[in-house]
């Protein structure tokens, strides 16, 4: 009886250890504060299974505008930041919220609008010039208005055009306060212009009469970076697993996976980690 008791105890202990190990494995995850463009473009659906299969680390993405993603990380509510507004990212690191910032990939922004281009924006030589034509014509423009990386890029071009869109807010200039997909839907419904990252546009199906009316200005370059949240500031951050994800994104394997993601033969993101 005594031997049976010991055997039963050993078996029970083994079950407990096994359950604990299983629970620990299931709980191994990181939270990524990222942008709606990486989510809406379908990039994460392509990338994350590759990383998760390799490492066993589950990646949970909170996709919001870049500004909101950074504020989330500044509160310690994420383990890693993957966004696209380099000045804000560098400030995040300089203020001690994050570790090293590294380039991951890039694409560009495109000006989308009615194919008939009633404002003549496509004839402009620069992105700022295209927006100036829209303002002059008071043609409907749908802005994300959400402090995202795309919204910051858009506002920079309005400033370069010498246009104060605050004066037009609620008139021909409409702020959706939404992500890129929802803003594109609004633009399609209004036959309005909008600025979109190219990847989300390529993955967007509800285009209506919209098309790209202006592109190619170097000012519309769109760089993405990754930053692990500083564990010295937030001890609960899963820095090791977050670092594993950051390292994978900039590794040859991760960079190749990014380059492989295409829609109808069009590459959505271009890896450039070597330029970090």
- 6: domain CATH number is 3.40.190.10
When the pLDDT of each residue in the chain is averaged and rounded to a whole number, the result is 90
* Dihedral in degrees, nearest 10, Cα atoms 214, 215, 218, 220: 80
The beta-carbon contacts of 123-131 under 8 Å, at least 24 apart in sequence, are 124/214, 126/160, 126/217, 126/219, 127/157, 127/160, 127/214, 127/217, 127/219, 127/220, 128/157, 128/158, 128/160, 128/161, 128/219, 129/161, 130/213, 130/214, 131/157, 131/158, 131/161, 131/163
The beta-carbon contacts of 73-78 under 8 Å, at least 24 apart in sequence, are 73/33, 73/97, 73/98, 73/227, 73/229, 76/229, 76/233, 76/234, 76/236, 76/237, 77/31, 77/33, 78/31, 78/32, 78/33, 78/229
The pLDDT tens digits of the residues spanning 212-263 come to 999 999 999 999 999 999 999 999 999 999 999 999 999 999 999 999 999 9
Residue 269 scores a pLDDT above 70: yes
Nearest to 61 by CA among 179, 214, 197, 215: 179
The whole-angstrom separation of Cα 59 and Cα 51 is 9
- Which range, of 3-12, 89-98, 118-127, averages the lowest pLDDT? 3-12
Residue 162 sits in the same domain as residue 202:
yes
Q: What is the reported pTM?
A: 0.85
Residue 43 sits in the same domain as residue 96:
yes
Residue 265 per-residue DSSP state: T
Neighbours of 79 (CB within 10 A): 27
The whole-angstrom separation of Cα 83 and Cα 222 is 10
How many domains is the chain built from?
Answer: 2
Residue 199 sits in the same domain as residue 236:
no
Residue 115 sits in the same domain as residue 49:
no
Residue 7 sits in the same domain as residue 103:
yes
Residue 204 sits in the same domain as residue 253:
no
The whole-angstrom separation of Cα 119 and Cα 201 is 21
pLDDT score at 4: 41
Q: Given 220, 247, 266, which residue is the final one in a domain? A: 220
Residue 208 sits in the same domain as residue 250:
no
Q: Given 180, 202, 220, which residue is the final one in a domain? A: 220
The pLDDT tens digits of the residues spanning 59-90 come to 999 999 899 999 999 999 999 999 999 999 99
Q: Specify burial of residue 65 (Cβ count, 10 A radius: 0-12, 13-18, 19+).
A: buried
Range of the domain at 132: 108-220
Q: Which residues contact 26 (CB under 8 A, 6 or more apart)?
A: none
Residue 102 sits in the same domain as residue 116:
no
């Amino acid at each position: 009886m005594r031997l049976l008791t010991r055997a039963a105890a050993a078996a029970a202990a083994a079950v407990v250890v096994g359950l604990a190990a299983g629970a620990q494995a299931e709980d191994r995850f990181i939270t990524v504060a990222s942008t709606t463009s990486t989510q809406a473009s379908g990039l994460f659906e392509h990338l994350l299974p590759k990383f998760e299969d390799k490492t066993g680390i589950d990646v949970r993405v909170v996709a919001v505008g870049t500004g909101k993603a950074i504020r989330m990380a500044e509160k310690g509510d994420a383990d890693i930041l993957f966004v696209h507004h380099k000045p804000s990212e560098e400030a995040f690191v300089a203020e001690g919220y994050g570790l090293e910032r590294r380039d991951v990939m890039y694409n560009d922004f495109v000006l989308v609008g009615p194919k008939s281009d009633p404002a003549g924006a496509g004839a402009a030589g620069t992105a700022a010039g295209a927006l100036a034509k829209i303002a002059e014509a008071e043609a409907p423009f749908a802005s994300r208005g959400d402090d995202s990386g795309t919204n910051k890029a858009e506002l920079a071009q309005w400033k370069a055009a010498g246009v104060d869109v605050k004066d037009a807010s609620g008139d021909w200039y409409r702020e959706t306060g939404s992500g890129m997909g929802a803003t594109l839907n609004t633009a399609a419904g209004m036959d309005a212009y909008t600025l979109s990252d190219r990847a989300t546009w390529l993955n967007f199906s509800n285009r209506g009469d919209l098309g790209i009316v202006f592109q190619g200005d170097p000012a519309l370059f769109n760089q993405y970076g990754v930053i692990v949240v500083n564990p010295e500031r937030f001890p609960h951050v899963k820095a090791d697993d977050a670092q594993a994800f950051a390292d994978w994104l900039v590794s040859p394997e991760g960079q190749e996976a990014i380059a492989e993601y295409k829609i109808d033969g069009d590459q959505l993101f271009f890896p450039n980690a070597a330029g970090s």
